[in-house]
Amino acid sequence: MNTIEHLIRGRPTDLGGFSVRRVLPSAAVRAVGPFVFVAHMGPAQFAPGGGIDVRPHPHIGLATVTYLFEGEFLHRDSLGTEQLVTPGDVNWMVAGRGIVHSERTPPELRSVPHRLHGVQTWVALPDADEEAAPAFEHHPANTLPRVETPGVEIRVIAGTAFGARSPVSVRSPTLYCAARLAAGAALPLAAEHEERAVYVVEGAVSIDGETVDEGCLAVLAAGRTANLVAGAAARLMLLGGTAVGPRLVHWNFVASTRARVEQAREDWSRYGRPGAAGRFGPVPGEHEFIPLPAA
């Protein structure tokens, strides 16, 4: 029995000088634990005046986290939050019944050459929390647990791993870590969580003798320890947890029923109209938004 059940290679998509590799959802695997969306952003180099402008857009039924290795994002949302996220920080946004947010390169960073590199993930909420009140919490990098073994440094972003627990308010058992491995370093990943996967951000690793290259997601078999070894220096994301059940992922909406997705589409189609009574509130300081795409 192989330790790796599925090996998913992310294909870069150019978003106008900015490359993104999406590995979840895929044709072979729709989710790993509660993770229903995983995208690797960059690395990208921006000249002065350049940057990212993700206009206000809605979410339901999930929590989001953008974990940065380089660069900065300014987050604004319909709760009135305005929060800068820098490398190693966690902005944990629970959409629940509905939230609107934007992510933009802050003005002071636009004035100089800068880089952006990170991983964006969506975590589906369990059934009992799909319609929870939206919420936001920020955790600076120095508040996240750090675990070190010879040649290995791990940050526990969310959930539990390696005997440590993140302060992030997860809604179901979750595994989410960033790991750096020196050349030749080994990392055993225990079968603590129901579902697990390893995404290689940089470098390459061997998982029980099978090579996983940069830009690939290795979905692991349940119930057994996986032994990771770095040939050269590597950067990894470890993710997974307990499955929350089948989820529909439609545009920015995650839901357990099609009816809920259709309701969210209807609500967003009315966004910004005078007198509209939709469930999505405005984002203070923002005056534009991403329109609803065709079905």
**How many angstroms separate the Cα of 271 from the Cα of each of 71, 101, 234, 287?**
31, 13, 44, 12
Banded pLDDT at 16 (limits 50, 70, 90): low
Banded pLDDT at 17 (limits 50, 70, 90): low
Cβ atoms within 10 Å of 15's Cβ, excluding its own: 11
List of residues 6+ apart from 88 with CB closer than 8 A: 67, 68, 140, 141, 144, 155, 178
Write the pLDDT tens digit of every residue in 73-119: 999 999 999 999 999 999 999 999 999 999 999 999 999 999 999 99
Query: How many Cα atoms sit within 13 Å of 121 on the Cβ side?
Result: 27
Q: Is the model's pTM score more than 0.75?
A: yes
Q: What angle do CA 157, 85, 279 make, to 5 degrees?
A: 90
Tell me what pLDDT residue 56 has: 96
At residue 142, the 3 state secondary structure works out as: helix
**How many angstroms separate the Cα of 72 from the Cα of each of 83, 104, 133, 182, 234?**
10, 8, 27, 26, 22
- Percentage of residues in the chain with pLDDT exceeding 90? 90
List of residues 6+ apart from 289 with CB closer than 8 A: 55, 56, 57, 100, 271, 272
Backbone φ and ψ for 262, nearest 5 degrees, come out as -65, -35
Chain-wide mean pLDDT for the chain?
94
Report, as an integer, the average pLDDT of 214-234.
96
* Whole-angstrom distance, CA of residue 181 vs CA of residue 167: 24
**How many angstroms separate the Cα of 157 from the Cα of each of 89, 178, 277?**
9, 7, 36
